[in-house]
Amino acid sequence: MATQPVPPESEVSAPSELPDPPDLSELDVVLDGSDDLPPGMPPGEPPDDQEGAELTLGEHLNEIRQRLTVAVLTLVLTTVITLIFASTILDYLLEPGRQALPEFRPIYTELLGFIGAYIKISLMLGLAGAMPVIVYQIYAFIHPGLTRAERKWIMPIVGLATVAFACGGAFAFFIGWPPALTFLLNFGQDIADPQVRINNYIDMLTRFVIWTGIIFELPLFLMGLGAIGLVTSRKLLGMWRWAIIGSFLLAALVTPSIDPVTQTFVAVPTMGLFVLGVALVRLVENRTVIPVIESDLDEEDDDDNDPEPQPA
């Protein structure tokens, strides 16, 4: 068999040269987002102000579940603690009735009436005791979405509102409740003996304390309206006649009795709260209360209005 001649090496076609591999360093930088990170932060870690924005819906729901669990467990714990001392607490709440009428002794006409009063007192006081933890869990959840000015002022406002509500509740129990009971228990004593159900006593006391606490929020409410420009101090002062009428109407709705003495005890402080609210609105107009908020908002507006740098 004849063999084919082998061509010389010069005539053998050389393989084509392969192209150089692409430079992936720039692509890695784009994927890592390291150009957008502050100096000193390793790639792959977002800055603090972007952590909330990167949470998925499932992560948000998981955070809600965790914070709700903490709030509920705290409420259960405080309710159990108050349930242990419910007998002492109930005896203390009944003391104004004994002072108004020495032979005062509430009754219950249902088998679960007294147990219901125990549980009701424990739940209300347990909720009051757990409220700081509940408020903190709510604040911690919404904190990433707040602006700098809102973060600076939301907790002081919540603290002032809590103090105002507590002062209103204390005023209702120690100042407004005793004369109201004295009037109600002695009004028809020469004709009929009062037989007060314990649930009725607790319900009336609870409503009186809660509504009086809400009324004590009036100065903060007026200050908020003045801060957003809905009312002015001059306009509020021009409504002083309506303020007096409204104070007595609120007192008539809130107080459990219809005697003018108890209603006056509630109406006069309400008028004082209105005057305090007008003074706070005046301070807001002079920018002596919230100048920091405005400066923070101005800085944020300046940051938003800064033109983006043009690429070279």
Query: How do residues 207-219 score in pLDDT, each as one tens digit?
Result: 999 999 999 999 9
Q: Which residues contact 173 (CB under 8 A, 6 or more apart)?
A: 96, 205, 209
Which two structure tokens, joined as six digits, stand for 16? Answer: 């084509």
Report the run of H or E that residue 238 belongs to, with start and end: none
**Residue 31: per-residue pLDDT:** 43
Burial class of residue 256 (count of CB atoms within 10 Å of its CB; 0-12, 13-18, 19+): middle
Greater pLDDT, 255 or 217: 217
**Residue 268: per-residue pLDDT:** 92
Residue 306 to residue 231: CA distance in whole angstroms: 33
Mean residue pLDDT across the chain = 80
pLDDT reading at 4 higher than 60: no
Does the reported pTM lie above 0.85? no
pLDDT reading at 243 higher than 60: yes
**Residue 157: per-residue pLDDT:** 87
Which two structure tokens, joined as six digits, stand for 285? Answer: 């107009």
Write down the domain spans for the chain: 57-286
* Mean pLDDT of the region 84-112: 91
Q: Which residues contact 136 (CB under 8 A, 6 or more apart)?
A: none
Q: What are phi and psi of 215, to 5 degrees?
A: -60, -35
Q: What is the pLDDT of residues 122-157, one digit of tens each?
A: 999 999 999 999 999 998 888 888 888 778 888 888
Confidence band of 312 (pLDDT split at 50, 70, 90): very low
Q: What is the pLDDT of residues 28-68, one digit of tens each?
A: 444 444 444 444 444 444 444 444 456 788 888 999 999 99
**Residue 56: per-residue pLDDT:** 82
Q: Identify the DSSP state of 50.
A: G
Which two structure tokens, joined as six digits, stand for 93? Answer: 């709440």
**Residue 260: per-residue pLDDT:** 84
